[in-house]
Amino acid sequence: MLFHVQMTVNLPHDLDPARAERLKAEERARALDLQRAGTWRHLWRVAGAYANVSIFDVEGPEELHAILSGLPLFPFMDVRVQALCTHPSSLEAAGDR
């Protein structure tokens, strides 16, 4: 089941720099693990923003929320979620894929 997620990160300017670096490193490690597991199916940077567009493949909203709320940078994120489904004009729907 696919979900489209746009995350925008707002780090407070007075956040301790060492803590910020640790959070970013943990975030990166977590993102790589979830991508390798196939759960975090796509991850792109939005040009010009501290933001990403992501596609998650999960069992449902419970798993999605567990993943997102467990991200080290989650407390500093604005997160937008959209549930996705097969598009009638997609190759999948046309039986091509």
Pairwise CA distance, residues 15 & 3, whole Å: 31
Report residue 25: phi and psi, to 5°.
-65, -40
23 is a site residue for its own copies (CB under 8 A): no
Minimum Å distance from CB 30 to its own copies?
Answer: 9
How far is the C-alpha of 23 from the C-alpha of 93, rounded, in Å? 41
Residue 75 touching its own copies (CB under 8 A): yes
Assess 70 for contact with its own copies (CB under 8 A): no
DSSP-derived 3-state class of residue 8: strand
Of residues 39, 52, 57, 72, which one binds its own copies by CB under 8 A? 52
Q: How far apart are CA 38 and CA 42, in angstroms?
A: 9
Interface residues toward its own copies, by CB under 8 A: 1-5, 11-15, 27-28, 31-32, 35-36, 42-50, 52-53, 55, 60-62, 64-65, 68-69, 75-76, 79-91, 94, 96
